Amino acid sequence: LTFTILSLLTIVIFASVCRAAEVPDPFKVNQLLGRGVNLGNALDAPSEGEWGVVLKEEFFQAVKDAGFSSIRLPVRWSAHAMTQPPYTINPDFMKRVDWAVNCALSRKLPVMLNVHHYGELYADPVKEKERFLSFWKQIAEHFKDSPDILIFELLNEPQKELTAEPWNERMKESLAVVRQSNPNRTIVIGSAHYNQIHYLTLLDIPKEDRNIIVTVHDYFPLTFTHQGADWITRGDPNSWLGTKWTGTEDEKQEIIRDLDFAAAWGKKNNRPVNLGEFGAYEKADMDSRARWTKFMADAAIERGMSFHYWEFCANEFGLYDQKTKSFRKPLLEAVLPPK
């Protein structure tokens, strides 16, 4: 009897060790993400194609051939799901997301799959709670058998009424939902207030869950990166037209201060950091865009971060010209060291 009990205990302990060994090191996963790019303005549009981008398999191959390490895949699930219980995601849309994820995974490209542009949740975090959690239950269960290089990002840029306190609540709840079916999946989490770096101090991630990467977004200074952008409601973006970024010491220090803050926060909290979005709008001059982008990308890598440039092939920020089927060389060389 004693031998049987000891044998059972040994099996239980061995199984526990094996399960623990399966949990990826998020710092190593973050290194795998490396220098990446967003495939934006497609599945995150109200309907794919509405914003000028329909994903094609050749895009994934172009990303791979260029030398990018990973892809961030923004998805607007809320536009393709029931608004009443059980909040079922449209099966055809799920198949489309499946196709995109597999286009990345089949090329050994890690892919960060997120919930993007969830305006209803931003406006009413209480009313939309169950729908948000239902999305993650469906997504997590659907992809639970995918390889470790599929990573889940819980929500892009919490904002408006989804301030720090309600976001911390929704974040913990959705994390718990994902962990039910994906106990070993690496999860990406950002702060409230649009994932801005200095709001990291308000982020309250469960300390016991270590398989997490923290993400930040940085588009500063907005007067340069968003000059002429008609969706910006703060200030007058048209009055910023002509703003250049020449790489003066003061201009560099603005970026350095932000990224140093993020890196220091990551070190203090023992969390890897990802720069999930950065980019400069097409109305800035190309020399300035390339200069700013390269400094931002290199500064992130120097601080041990991974990054995902915003974004691949839409006109506004795109690295890739869909008409010529070629990369805009100054931008490509800003985010990737020339081969």
To the nearest 10°, report the CA torsion of 65, 67, 70, 71.
-50
> What stretch of H or E contains 165?
helix 164-181
Active site residue 249: no
Catalytic residue among 157, 251, 311, 316: 157
Name the phi and psi angles at 169, rounded to 5: -65, -50
The rounded distance, in Å, linking the Cα atoms of 332 and 149 is 24
The rounded distance, in Å, linking the Cα atoms of 184 and 145 is 11
Active site residue 157: yes
Burial 117-151 (b: 16+ CB within 10 A, else e): bbeebbeebeebbebbbbbbbbbbeebeebebbbb
Catalytic residue among 48, 128, 153, 277: 277
In this structure, what token pair is assigned to residue 147? 């390889």
Burial 162-195 (b: 16+ CB within 10 A, else e): bbbebbbebbbbbbebbbebbeebbbbbbbbbbb
Report the SS3 class of residue 321.
Answer: strand
Q: Using alpha carbons only, how large is the chain's radius of gyration in Å?
A: 21
Look at residues 143, 157, 159 and name the one whose alpha carbon lies nearest to residue 111. Answer: 143
Report the SS3 class of residue 288.
Answer: helix
In this structure, what token pair is assigned to residue 292? 């700013």
The rounded distance, in Å, linking the Cα atoms of 189 and 103 is 24
The rounded distance, in Å, linking the Cα atoms of 185 and 46 is 28
Q: Which residues are catalytic?
A: 157, 277
